[in-house]
Amino acid sequence: MTVSSTTLGPAPRRGPRWRRLLQAREAALVALVALVILVMTLWSPFFFSAANFRAASIGMVPTGIIAVGMTYLLVSGSFDLSVGAVLALSGTILALLLARGVPTPLAILLTAGAGALIGLANGLLVTALGINPLVATLATMSVARGLALVLTEGYSITGLPPSFGYVGSAAWLGIPLTVLIMVVIVIVADLALRHTRLLRQLYYVGANETAARLSGIRVGLVRVSAYLATSLMATLSGILLASRLMAGTPTAGSGLELQVLAAAVIGGASLSGGEGTVLGALLGVVFVALINNAMTMLAVSIYWQMVVTGIVLAMAVTLDRLVRHRER
């Protein structure tokens, strides 16, 4: 018997108790963020300052925007490791076009097209060819990063038109414009994931792919769309970063995929699919960013910061598995 998707809730596995658990996860993250701020304020007089929060918020913009797409993918039961490389390739393509006199709107459109092609390739590799997402997105990550280095010979591309730097440097009411863009994207994406029938299909696919297919959902199209959205978010992040730096940097975004994954899982998304919210992912981004900022304030080596990020990711995945096991 075919089940209509309209009879299903936002997430097939999510009953009232689990919804309360997700809300508790988000509330716990808010408490953790507040605790980090309190401890660091007592530890360092420079932490609780407008300049530090401004710098930290600007730095989390790429991670926050990409976390939107990654949450969509995790909810659908997949993930993407190529986002950092796509960010770098997008920035370098845009910078090369602008440096050669291509009008800014056309350059942005062409860059978005390149990002969309990578997202489409990821989606087709996973859905049409049945390649494991780990292998598929590692392959596109290598291709995208390699192209960024080949196109620039490893050097940053500068000499961009001054008008292009407006978005990256402007502020409204004292808040950086890039941060406002991130906040708007997160709010719209979170509401859409919670309340639109189209995006709720991500939950059905991630929770039970077979049942979703039997209910009439085009599983392949849903997953390809999620990959496309994720790649476009990475492209937008690359464009905003290039505007802020006024340069296209082929090495940008290195290791960003792990930070995004860690933030999304900390925020409640499940590697098994079927669970997660964009708001939770953003709270995870804020938590990871504050931890990194605190280590920078304490003069901790950047290499140790990478170690801490890995440990946080491992702890988040372990917690996720324990919670799923207890729920079963």
Reply yes or no on whether the pLDDT at 3 is more than 60: no
Q: pLDDT tier at 11 (50, 70, 90 boundaries)?
A: very low
CA distances to 27, 213, 231, 262, 289 from 257, in Å? 25, 29, 12, 9, 14
What is the model's pLDDT at position 260?
92
Choice between 272 and 235, residue whose per-residue pLDDT is larger? 235
The answer to whether the Cα torsion of 188, 232, 82, 170 is positive or negative is: negative
* Helix ranges restricted to H, the chain: 16-43, 50-59, 61-75, 83-99, 104-127, 133-152, 166-169, 177-195, 197-207, 209-214, 219-245, 256-266, 278-297, 302-327
| pLDDT mean over 209-233 | 92
What is the model's pLDDT at position 24?
62
Choice between 121 and 36, residue whose per-residue pLDDT is larger? 121
Residues 6+ apart with CB under 8 A from 291: 36, 308, 312
The amino acid sitting at 259 is Q
Burial class (CB in 10 A: 0-12, 13-18, 19+), 102: middle
Backbone phi, then psi, for 241, in 5-degree steps? -65, -40
Q: pLDDT tier at 326 (50, 70, 90 boundaries)?
A: low
Percent of the chain clearing pLDDT 70 (strictly above):
90
Average pLDDT for the chain: 86
What is the model's pLDDT at position 6?
36
Reference 327, options 256, 249, 275; nearest CA is 275
The model's pTM is: 0.87
DSSP code string of 102-155: --HHHHHHHHHHHHHHHHHHHHHHHHTS---HHHHHHHHHHHHHHHHHHHHTTP
CATH class of 21-327: mainly alpha
Q: pLDDT tier at 92 (50, 70, 90 boundaries)?
A: very high
Which of 18-32, 92-106, 289-303 shows the lowest per-residue confidence on average (mean pLDDT)?
A: 18-32
Calpha distance 126→273 (Å, rounded)? 15
The amino acid sitting at 97 is L
What is the model's pLDDT at position 74?
94
Reply yes or no on whether the pLDDT at 325 is more than 90: no
What is the model's pLDDT at position 14?
44
pLDDT digits (tens, 9 = 90+) for 233-268: 999 999 999 999 999 999 998 889 988 998 898 888
Which of 78-82, 165-169, 304-308 shows the lowest per-residue confidence on average (mean pLDDT)?
A: 304-308
Reply yes or no on whether the pLDDT at 19 is more than 90: no
Reply yes or no on whether the pLDDT at 220 is more than 50: yes
Residues 6+ apart with CB under 8 A from 320: 265, 270, 271, 272
Reply yes or no on whether the pLDDT at 54 is more than 80: yes
The two tokens of residue 47 are 């932490």
Q: pLDDT tier at 16 (50, 70, 90 boundaries)?
A: very low
CA distances to 103, 244, 260, 290 from 56, in Å? 32, 14, 16, 7
The two tokens of residue 236 are 């937008």
What is the model's pLDDT at position 198?
84
| Domain boundaries of the chain, sorted by first residue | 21-327
Calpha distance 259→310 (Å, rounded)? 9
pLDDT digits (tens, 9 = 90+) for 93-132: 999 999 999 999 999 999 999 999 999 999 999 999 999 9
Per DSSP, the three-state class of 66 is: helix
